[in-house]
Structure 1
């Protein structure tokens, strides 16, 4: 009997201008980055990308969402505490995903969207920043037992670029990982018929994309005194990009304070593989799909 390929929906949470800026910077949008990774992690999977921030009713209804095996929510510069149409649209989409019962995964703003959709809250980090990498992330007691973080050590670093954070998880959510700077680094959210696994960091992006993000946010990093000037940001970005080109270089790992949890693409993206293997495929079997 033929088994139909996995069907994934990728919701690009970026507004159009940010999507275009990222494409100019790294050659692809956040959704296209997810699509490329999923082609590697789940060969043969069929992906559809949508842009729920762009127009009202850009997302499919819950009945159609139920036909997918998994939904992925990308990062975004949206501030979910602002009452703007694009914020309302993407939150409405996530509520429809929850209603459909289709498993969902999100990184960075994707976690924040799911949090707000289920009744939690998001806030600005004010002067704090995780710019480039989130350091010393540690699973909580629940996280050490949770399949999302299977394969992660007791402390690890991960690519991260964000200026907002989860303020309060919604009722019924489980905190899975934290670090000293950002309390909610990973969580499971159950709401209605749905289940969401998410992280504040970016397991989907490459070091090349980290370097590009630093360059895009150069002014902000200087303003918040993470770097003395634009040249200092460029110097850091150049080191990260060089490590992308030669991930085995021990001297660059040492200078940047990184290890294989970041430089090895398979280890870096383990949460996405765990989501597919530990939640998507079992849920698909329970639904009796071929």
Structure 2
């Protein structure tokens, strides 16, 4: 797992009581493949390295997390190092997967372009994500409804797709909500939304960014923000609370982990397990 947050931001997350993105990803992967060996690396950091004696090519898959960085900030060494890391993953032919920041890093690493979304931030839930014709027949979405919602928090979007890529889903906010990228010897399946989140994690993220979200108009005041996150926390404790789910306009595509994380399971079953080293 490649942690997308730089060290300073990771420290801030911990101080705020939030889980690290890489820990969320590791937990998700282990829930799907309990006997997997999952290492965490921090490619944003100048002093990062793989475990001693382990080569990147020896991994059966690489998953990249979200981040608060922007690939548009290409003067930032933490950004450049992560783009270079994804290029190396492609060159080594290791299947890769990721969400949000990972989609944007994979895009830039393979020759595409990203911009700030003129429609503004997509926050909380990406609504009515619709599979493209390619997505309807793609193994990433095997068993997935043709239209669904997902957790989201991003301002950047893919504007120019890489030379060897397919858009697999999109919605009214972002034309690219999922994409397959082929580059070098590698293939990446990447999402703009966050299958690793649950409602409690979204509540923590909203509280962490309280001032900014009120300033951006997502909430009228602190009281309304905290009432909203209280309901999200209720659903984390009891996803069967039909009344609260109805109030927030969410359904099993958000609340049922098996539906929410189906893309990750499909990636593992389609690209990782067939090539597992024995």
Q: TM-score range by the shorter chain?
A: over 0.9
C-alpha distance in 2, partners of 1:89/1:223? Answer: 32
C-alpha distance in 2, partners of 1:59/1:52? Answer: 9
**Which of 48, 63, 66 lines up with 1:72 in the alignment?**
63
Structure 1: which 5+ runs fail to align?
A: 1-9
Deviation string for 1:167-213 (max 9, x for gaps)?
Answer: 22111110000000111100000001000001000001221111111
Q: TM-score, normalised by structure 2?
A: 0.95
Tell me the residue number matched to 2:154.
Answer: 162
1:26 and 1:209 in contact (8 A); partners too: no
Deviation string for 1:86-122 (max 9, x for gaps)?
Answer: 1100000000000000000010101111111001111
Deviation string for 1:28-76 (max 9, x for gaps)?
Answer: 210011111111100110011000101166468xx92110000000000
Q: 1:25: Cα distance to partner?
A: 3.5
2:41 and 2:48 in contact (8 A); partners too: no
2:18 and 2:201 in contact (8 A); partners too: no
Q: TM-score, normalised by structure 1?
A: 0.91
- Structure 1 moving runs of 4+ over 6 Å: none
Structure 2: which 5+ runs fail to align?
A: none
Tell me the residue number matched to 2:72.
Answer: 81
- Map 1:39-78; keep pairs closer than 5 Å: 39-55=30-46, 58=49, 64-78=55-69
CA RMSD in angstroms comes to 1.7
Tell me the residue number matched to 2:189.
Answer: 197
Q: 1:146: Cα distance to partner?
A: 0.5
1:59 and 1:93 in contact (8 A); partners too: no
How many equivalent pairs are there? 276
**Which of 170, 193, 210 lines up with 1:178 in the alignment?**
170
Aligned residue for 2:38, secondary structure, equals strand
Q: 1:127: Cα distance to partner?
A: 5.7
1:136 and 1:156 in contact (8 A); partners too: yes
**Which of 101, 108, 112 lines up with 1:120 in the alignment?**
112
Change (3 A) 1:56 1:114: farther
